[in-house]
Amino acid sequence: MTKTLLAVLAHPDDESFGLGGTLALYAQRGCDTYLVCATKGEAGSADPEFMQGFSSTAEMREAELRCAAQHLGIKGVYFLGYRDSGMPGMEANKHPSAQINAPIDEVAGRVVKYIRGLKPDVVLTFDPIGGYKHPDHIHIHKATTLAFEKADNASFHPESGSPFKPKALYYQIFPRWFLKAMTRLMPLFGKDPRKWGRNGDINLKDLADVDFPLHVRLDIRSVAEIKREAGACHASQGGAGMRRGVMRFDVVARGAKGHSGLAGTGDLSERLITARSALGEIFAKHLTLKSSDGWQSQAKFPFINVGTTGVYNVTAAEGILGVEIRPIPQDDTFKLKEEVLAYCEANGLELRMNVMENGVACDPQNPALLALIQSVKNASGAEPKIGRKLPGTSARFAPGGQAVVWGQTGIGPHAKEERHYIPSIEPYYKSLTELAKLWK
């Protein structure tokens, strides 16, 4: 019998930055995974570039969440209908629909409806301090704990379904070694560990002093890439660093090889040229192909191969249209792939996917990243120049929409005769030497 897991969280991105590895792992193992999200993250800040095409922050963040859920294999996403309360002291705290202004019993009644309806074996939510003392996290922790305890009590919100008792309730906790490492490393880079996060409203020193018993530790290395891809969906919240990914695929048209006067299989070139035009329209729907600041996806058709050069009276058995896309993390390549596949199937073509990788995501406060930036500074004697990855450069980390970049020059791109100047390697060597000193 299929096992079911239910995560009850507060905001879009909680499912990726926190429990993403767990949800992806159990979905991969064949479990049905579901998410209940209390709010749509209305109080989260976002740069204007992420609001293009959306009428509100809630609409944009819901779209990011659904993108992440698809990556994680979540079977269903449900919202409780509350509003993001924001961090303590924010104006959002006073909104009448703010989650923290709803009675715990009321919220628990909404949660228990999904527990009784979905019948999960295991329920997951935040720890008693909400991970980093976010009021909504603490509030939904209390409501979920109450709902779990009362789910088999017929008198508790009888309008929310028949009694049912899940087997277990688990709380997600931050690893204390991570918090302690952050509080030691951040001052070395001029950062205040009491003001961590996108808005500087998280005190890591307070969190590092709180400890909880550990009952389950999961190895999520097998789904680390899936978790990263899900995090990249939340580009507005710093989940995506700005390094393009890559998609390379072939669109294949098949025919019958024979004398052109007899075979009658049609012109494969014409079919592929028609496909090229149709794919261009699909790309325009799903990719950011124009941007005022130049940060956009790239789509190219590097080749069409049909027939044999110099042979004019024999039809080809196969024709191939090559496609390369360099998507920025904000673009949903999975939806693009689905539409391309549907077009191919409808038109008697074959889609042969060779590479599919989204852009790199890296939290700007990642301790390894902070150490890397500091090591570059130590090695060069100057402040590292931070900027988006440009053609003809090499980037290895991408903090907050930027990238640590060293210049290199060559020919290509990625041609067999490509050459890079050897001096471009030297900064890597020196910086990694400094990085080793920092991590001792």
Position 13 pLDDT exceeds 80: yes
The CATH number of the structural domain formed by 4-173+212-237 is 3.40.50.10320
Question: Rounded to whole angstroms, how far apart are CA atoms 277 and 232?
Answer: 29
Position 425 pLDDT exceeds 70: no
Element spanning 324, H or E:
strand 318-326
The CATH number of the structural domain formed by 246-357 is 3.30.70.360
Sign of the CA dihedral with 75 first, then 78, 83, and 87 last:
negative
Place of tokens 């991970």: 131
Position 276 pLDDT exceeds 90: yes
Contact 67, 233 (CB under 8 A): yes
Sign of the CA dihedral with 395 first, then 397, 403, and 404 last:
negative
Considering the chain, what is the average pLDDT of its residues? 82
Global pTM value: 0.58
In the sheet where 122-126 sits, what is the strand order?
A: 76-79, 32-37, 4-9, 122-126, 168-172
Length of the chain: 440
Question: Rounded to whole angstroms, how far apart are CA atoms 118 and 112?
Answer: 10
Structure tokens at 96: 């009448």
How far from the centroid of its chain's Cα atoms is residue 215's Cα? Answer: 27
Q: Where are the domains of the chain?
A: 4-173+212-237, 246-357, 367-438
DSSP string, 175-233: -HHHHHHHHHHGGGGT--TTSBTTTT-B-HHHHHT-----------GGGHHHHHHHHHH
Residue 46 confidence (pLDDT): 77
Question: Rounded to whole angstroms, how far apart are CA atoms 437 and 121?
Answer: 47
Contact 182, 136 (CB under 8 A): no
Residue 369 confidence (pLDDT): 66
Question: Taking CA 67 as the corner, what is the angle to CA 278 and CA 78, rounded to the nearest 5 degrees?
Answer: 130
**pLDDT higher for 299 or 89?**
299
